[in-house]
């Protein structure tokens, strides 16, 4: 998968000779399917990628169902952007696709239902900002295809530039140096013993900057990648350039610098609570934050006893549900007294709203004092692989996106002190009266960010109240794998589900099992009426199985996402399998269903032992399995796998359930294809 700010894309092809990638978006419209509803990724690249990663010039984007108010039809500043052909491909040809006939949408309207643009013209296929319902992307490889849109290649063709030049590395290594890079700017550097050079070790030019050797930085990663790629090559039949190739090493490292860690969103109330509790510990100064939380179980009388300021100040109330744009959605009330707050909450608590295409009930509110202010500032800290990026602007608030050109960003490499000199570029344009106060505030917040294992922290805006910084709106994410060392500092922290997502009883049961074991047990219902279900060993393998079903066009039939790993014992697997099978067999409707019991090749998990728990569960549920017309596909490798597979074969004969059993000689993707063929075959 290829991850950027606009979403995740499956890498369909890598062409090392021409330095190109072909990316697939599962919600991309093609000649056979028009996907509307604004759910597709689009394609937006972060600015730091632009020097070495961009869609190919022959890549045409067709934007579908755009609003009359879309910037496409209003014109960008200084540009006239008609809907036109790009590289010989455009909407006039695309309208000939059968999908348009099936979509029951008038083709030629004003504005047009399809608008073809090049990436170079607008620099971002952001469906939200462009106010479009969907998009298609197609590219041409010479010679130009002439078979019409049914013969076009659908996907996003991206050209990449290798970050490290062969000539530079050869010059460096020929003088006894090691080819490396600057950790912040990623500029090429030659590591020469006790100094670093911007050319080679015979040159007097030097750079006193933090560096990493390409080889040292990725040696551990490449060791595991070599094993993983060998496994992939065996199981999928894919071919890879050897990972010792210096170009691939450089490219891998460049992309790895932006890999993100485990992170969990927390409520605004908890973000501010943690900030207030630890700001004084780290700075010696109080942060005058006041906030209260109201849920269905809150006793308002007890809340007033605990927070008496609620009766003496004008208040602000808003949902605290991990979604933004609350003000624009009419979900923020200002300058209320507490009685009015109670009424506001009562009218909305438990009511379902739709935000960003997700529906769910509002269950939690945050109440704060109304704080009059004149200026609004923006602060964002993001943890990255080799350090943290810090962004700041004196033009914060709801218009921050429109003023993004005024946001200043610096990168602080891991292990580097955050000094006044480091902070200077962020606050260079501030007035002298506030510069020192805001510098000190940013430094303390950054120290708190690091100390408490935040992975993301944003204040938009924070203001100056009586000359002191005060965060008005705040978002936070924590590295939940650091909970073991932060449980006292974080206090009674909650990691809520994403808005619109509510755990079912079965999901809650397995979540409880997962909390009690050192292994990993995960289960999410995607479609209770789905006909393809999985019970997969291994996090990576579970994603591959789910992705494959989706890529083959049957995402709508995928019933669940399931993963067990970390060598769970037989009893844990038994309880897990019981729940999964109950969901697989629920509400038989006469249609065939498939259960894929899969996995990759285990490193240390005893396959036979984990299969024992699954076998016991299958025996218990025979009647349900038969009633739901279940066909089971098993694919696994690893320690003791032959014994486990043989037990599965014998089980099928014993209970009269069709079970096809495969070892590592079969591909994971092939098993998914067989399951699809079974459910789609005529009865």
Report DSSP letters for 302-313, one per residue: HHHHH-GGGGTS
Q: Taking Cα atoms as reference points, which of 268, 678, 246, 281 lies closest to residue 451?
A: 281
Which DSSP symbol is given to 14? E
In this prediction, residue 102 has a pLDDT band, given cuts at 50, 70 and 90, of confident
Provide the residue range defining the domain that includes 233: 162-259
Q: Are residues 103 and 181 in the same domain?
A: no
Question: Rounded distance, CA 200 to CA 191, Å?
Answer: 8
Q: What is the mean pLDDT of residues 16-29?
A: 82
- 3-state per-residue secondary structure call for 634-681: EECECCCHHHHHHHHHHHHHHHCCCEEEECCCCCHHHHHHHHHHHHHC
What's the confidence (pLDDT) of residue 238? 34
Residue that is last in its domain, among 259, 293, 318 = 259
C-alpha distances in Å from residue 4, one per residue of 19, 334, 353: 18, 36, 28
Q: Where are the alpha helices (DSSP H) in 517-606?
A: 539-551, 570-584
**C-beta of residue 362 within 8 angstroms of C-beta of residue 373:** no
What's the confidence (pLDDT) of residue 364? 94
Question: Rounded distance, CA 144 to CA 87, Å?
Answer: 9
Q: What is the mean pLDDT of residues 312-339?
A: 88
Q: Are residues 370 and 484 in the same domain?
A: yes
Q: What is the mean pLDDT of residues 104-124?
A: 73
Q: Which of 15-29, 79-93, 504-518, 658-672 has the lowest mean pLDDT?
A: 79-93
- Report residue 428 as tokens: 């260079």
Given a cut of 90, whether residue 270 has pLDDT beyond it is yes
**C-beta of residue 426 within 8 angstroms of C-beta of residue 456:** no
Question: Rounded distance, CA 649 to CA 661, Å?
Answer: 6
What's the confidence (pLDDT) of residue 559? 93
C-alpha distances in Å from residue 623, one per residue of 140, 280, 581, 585, 615: 54, 63, 11, 10, 14
Q: Are residues 128 and 230 in the same domain?
A: no
Directed axis angle between helix 268-283 and helix 432-451, to 10°? 100
Q: Are residues 242 and 323 in the same domain?
A: no
Strand partners, 411: 389
Residues 6 or more apart whose Cβ sits within 8 Å of residue 340: 315, 333
Q: Which of 176-180, 295-299, 390-394 has the lowest mean pLDDT?
A: 176-180
**C-beta of residue 534 within 8 angstroms of C-beta of residue 523:** no
Residues 6 or more apart whose Cβ sits within 8 Å of residue 107: 95, 100, 113, 114
What's the confidence (pLDDT) of residue 236? 34
Question: Rounded distance, CA 195 to CA 205, Å?
Answer: 10
Phi, psi of 138 (to 5 degrees): -140, 155
Question: Rounded distance, CA 19 to CA 630, Å?
Answer: 45
Q: Which of 194-203, 302-311, 439-448, 670-679 has the lowest mean pLDDT?
A: 194-203
What's the confidence (pLDDT) of residue 107? 53
Residue that is last in its domain, among 160, 185, 205 = 160
What's the confidence (pLDDT) of residue 202? 66
Which DSSP symbol is given to 19? T
**C-beta of residue 274 within 8 angstroms of C-beta of residue 488:** no
Q: Taking Cα atoms as reference points, which of 440, 485, 427 lies closest to residue 287?
A: 440
Give, for 508, the enclosing helix (H) or strand (E).
Answer: helix 505-516
What's the confidence (pLDDT) of residue 75? 64
Question: Rounded distance, CA 680 to CA 683, Å?
Answer: 9
> If you write DSSP's letter for every residue of 572-596 in order, what string do you get?
HHHHHHHHHHHHHTSS--SS-EEEE
**C-beta of residue 266 within 8 angstroms of C-beta of residue 477:** yes
C-alpha distances in Å from residue 498, one per residue of 355, 359, 361, 477: 12, 11, 12, 12
In this prediction, residue 88 has a pLDDT band, given cuts at 50, 70 and 90, of low
Q: What percent of the chain has pLDDT over 90?
A: 40
Question: Rounded distance, CA 572 to CA 521, Å?
Answer: 9
Q: Are residues 509 and 618 in the same domain?
A: yes
Question: Rounded distance, CA 476 to CA 276, Å?
Answer: 13
Strand partners, 595: 533, 632
What's the confidence (pLDDT) of residue 541? 86
Q: Which of 242-256, 297-311, 364-378 has the lowest mean pLDDT?
A: 242-256
For residue 661, count other CB atoms closer than 10 A to its CB: 20
What's the confidence (pLDDT) of residue 681? 86
For residue 627, count other CB atoms closer than 10 A to its CB: 12
Q: Taking Cα atoms as reference points, which of 607, 526, 618 lies closest to residue 565?
A: 607
Given a cut of 80, whether residue 204 has pLDDT beyond it is no
Residues 6 or more apart whose Cβ sits within 8 Å of residue 90: 60, 62, 83, 84, 116
Q: Are residues 62 and 129 in the same domain?
A: yes
In this prediction, residue 593 has a pLDDT band, given cuts at 50, 70 and 90, of very high
Q: What is the mean pLDDT of residues 94-122?
A: 76
Show the beta-strand stretches assigned E in 56-162: 59-64, 114-118, 134-139, 153-154, 156-160
**C-beta of residue 597 within 8 angstroms of C-beta of residue 632:** yes
Residue that is last in its domain, among 160, 190, 212 = 160
What's the confidence (pLDDT) of residue 346? 93
Q: Which of 243-257, 571-585, 663-677 has the lowest mean pLDDT?
A: 243-257
Q: Where are the alpha helices (DSSP H) in 284-328?
A: 300-306
Residues 6 or more apart whose Cβ sits within 8 Å of residue 401: none
Q: Are residues 116 and 231 in the same domain?
A: no
* CB burial readout 334-351, b (16+ within 10 A) else e: eebebeebbebbeebbee
Q: Taking Cα atoms as reference points, which of 646, 511, 544, 532 lies closest to residue 583?
A: 532
Give, for 481, the enclosing helix (H) or strand (E).
Answer: none
In this prediction, residue 52 has a pLDDT band, given cuts at 50, 70 and 90, of confident
More confident residue, 515 or 461: 461
In this prediction, residue 258 has a pLDDT band, given cuts at 50, 70 and 90, of very low
More confident residue, 652 or 222: 652
Answer left, alpha or beta for residue 43, where phi above 0 means left and psi between -120 and 50 means alpha. Answer: beta
Q: Give the tens place of pLDDT for each residue, 115-149.
A: 888 887 788 888 888 888 899 999 875 444 456 78
CATH classification of the domain holding 654: 3.40.50.261
Given a cut of 60, whether residue 215 has pLDDT beyond it is no
Question: Rounded distance, CA 601 to CA 84, Å?
Answer: 50
Question: Rounded distance, CA 81 to CA 90, Å?
Answer: 14
Q: What is the mean pLDDT of residues 51-78?
A: 80
Could you give the dihedral angle defined by the CA atoms of residues 244, 248, 249 and 253, in that order, rounded to the nearest 10 degrees?
Answer: -160
Directed axis angle between helix 539-551 and helix 668-680, to 10°? 40
Q: What is the mean pLDDT of residues 185-204?
A: 67
Given a cut of 90, whether residue 212 has pLDDT beyond it is no
Q: Which of 196-205, 295-304, 353-362 has the lowest mean pLDDT?
A: 196-205
In this prediction, residue 66 has a pLDDT band, given cuts at 50, 70 and 90, of confident
Q: Give the tens place of pLDDT for each residue, 601-615.
A: 887 778 888 899 999
Q: Are residues 221 and 173 in the same domain?
A: yes
Q: Are residues 102 and 15 in the same domain?
A: yes
Give the total number of structural domains in the chain.
4
**C-beta of residue 135 within 8 angstroms of C-beta of residue 83:** no
CATH classification of the domain holding 483: 3.30.470.110
What's the confidence (pLDDT) of residue 330? 79
Q: Give the tens place of pLDDT for each residue, 228-245.
A: 333 333 333 333 333 334
What's the confidence (pLDDT) of residue 229? 39
Over the chain, what is the mean pLDDT?
Answer: 82
CA angle centred on 260, ends 258 and 264, rounded to 5°: 155
What's the confidence (pLDDT) of residue 193? 65
Q: What is the pTM assigned to this prediction?
A: 0.54
Q: What is the mean pLDDT of residues 490-502?
A: 83
Q: Are residues 378 and 283 in the same domain?
A: yes
Q: Which of 11-15, 248-252, 350-354, 448-452 has the lowest mean pLDDT?
A: 248-252
Give, for 140, the enclosing helix (H) or strand (E).
Answer: none
Q: Are residues 36 and 130 in the same domain?
A: yes
Q: Are residues 526 and 548 in the same domain?
A: yes
Q: Which of 186-190, 293-297, 307-311, 617-621 has the lowest mean pLDDT?
A: 186-190
């Amino acid at each position: 998968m290829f991850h950027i700010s606009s979403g995740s894309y499956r890498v369909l092809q890598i062409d090392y000779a021409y330095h190109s990638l072909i990316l697939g978006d599962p919600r991309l419209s093609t000649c056979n399917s028009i996907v509307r509803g604004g759910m597709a990724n689009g394609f937006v690249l972060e600015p730091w990628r632009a020097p070495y990663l961009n869609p190919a010039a022959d890549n045409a984007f067709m934007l579908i169902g755009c609003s009359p108010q879309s910037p496409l039809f209003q014109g960008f500043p200084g540009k006239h952007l008609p809907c036109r052909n790009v590289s010989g491909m455009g909407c006039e040809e695309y309208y000939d696709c059968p999908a348009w006939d099936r979509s029951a949408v008038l083709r030629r309207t004003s504005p047009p239902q399809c608008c073809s643009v090049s990436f170079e013209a607008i620099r971002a296929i952001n469906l939200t900002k462009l106010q479009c319902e969907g998009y298609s992307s197609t590219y041409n490889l010479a010679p130009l295809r002439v078979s019409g849109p049914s013969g076009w290649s659908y996907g996003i063709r991206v050209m990449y530039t290798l970050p490290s030049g062969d000539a530079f590395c050869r010059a460096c290594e020929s003088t006894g140096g090691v080819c490396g890079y600057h950790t912040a700017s990623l500029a090429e550097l030659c590591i020469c013993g006790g100094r670093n050079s911007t050319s080679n070790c015979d040159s007097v030019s030097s750079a006193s900057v933090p560096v990493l050797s390409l080889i040292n930085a990725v040696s551990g990663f490449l060791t595991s990648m070599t094993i993983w790629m060998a496994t992939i090559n065996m199981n999928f039949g894919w071919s890879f350039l050897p990972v010792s190739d210096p170009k691939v090493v450089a490219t891998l490292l460049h992309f790895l610098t932006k890999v993100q860690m485990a992170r969990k969103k927390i409520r605004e109330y908890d973000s501010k609570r943690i900030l207030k509790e630890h700001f004084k510990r780290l700075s010696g100064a109080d942060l005058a934050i006041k906030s209260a939380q109201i849920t269905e179980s809150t006793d308002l009388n007890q809340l007033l006893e605990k927070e008496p300021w609620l009766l003496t100040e004008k208040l602000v109330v808003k949902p605290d549900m991990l979604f933004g744009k609350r003000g624009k959605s009419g979900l923020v009330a200002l300058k209320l007294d507490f009685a009015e707050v109670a009424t506001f909450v009562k009218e909305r608590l438990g009511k379902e709203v739709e935000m960003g295409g997700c529906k769910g009930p509002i269950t939690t509110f945050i109440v704060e004092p109304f704080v009059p202010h004149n200026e609004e500032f923006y602060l964002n800290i993001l943890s990255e692989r080799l350090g943290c990026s810090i962004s700041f602007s004196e033009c914060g608030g709801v218009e921050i996106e429109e003023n993004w050109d005024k946001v200043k960003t610096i990168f602080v490499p891991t292990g580097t002190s955050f000094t006044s000199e480091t902070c200077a570029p962020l606050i260079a344009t501030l007035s002298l009266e506030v510069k020192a106060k805001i510098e000190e505030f940013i430094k303390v917040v950054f120290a708190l960010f690091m100390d408490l294992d935040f992975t993301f922290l944003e204040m938009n805006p924070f203001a100056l109240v009586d000359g002191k910084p005060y965060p008005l709106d705040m978002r936070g994410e924590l590295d939940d794998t650091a909970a073991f060392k932060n449980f006292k500092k974080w206090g009674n922290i909650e990691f809520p589900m994403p808005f619109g997502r509510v755990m079912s009883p079965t999901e809650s049961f397995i979540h409880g099992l997962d909390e009690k074991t050192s292994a990993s047990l995960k289960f999410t219902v995607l479609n209770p009426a789905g006909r393809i279900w999985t019970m997969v060993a291994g996090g990576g393998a579970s994603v591959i199985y789910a992705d494959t079903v989706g890529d083959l066009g049957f995402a709508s039939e995928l019933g669940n996402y399931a993963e067990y790993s970390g060598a769970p014992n037989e009893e844990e697997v038994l309880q897990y399998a019981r729940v999964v099978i109950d969901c697989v067999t629920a509400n038989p409707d006469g249609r065939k269903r498939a259960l894929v019991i899969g996995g990759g090749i285990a490193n240390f998990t005893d396959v036979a032992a984990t299969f024992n728990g699954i076998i016991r569960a299958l025996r218990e549920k025979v009647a349900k399995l038969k009633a739901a017309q279940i066909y089971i596909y098993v694919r696994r490798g690893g320690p003791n796998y032959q014994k486990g597979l043989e037990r599965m074969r014998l089980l099928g004969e014993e209970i009269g359930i069709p079970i096809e059993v495969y070892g590592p000689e079969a591909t994971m993707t092939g098993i998914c294809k067989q399951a699809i063929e079974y459910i789609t075959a005529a009865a």
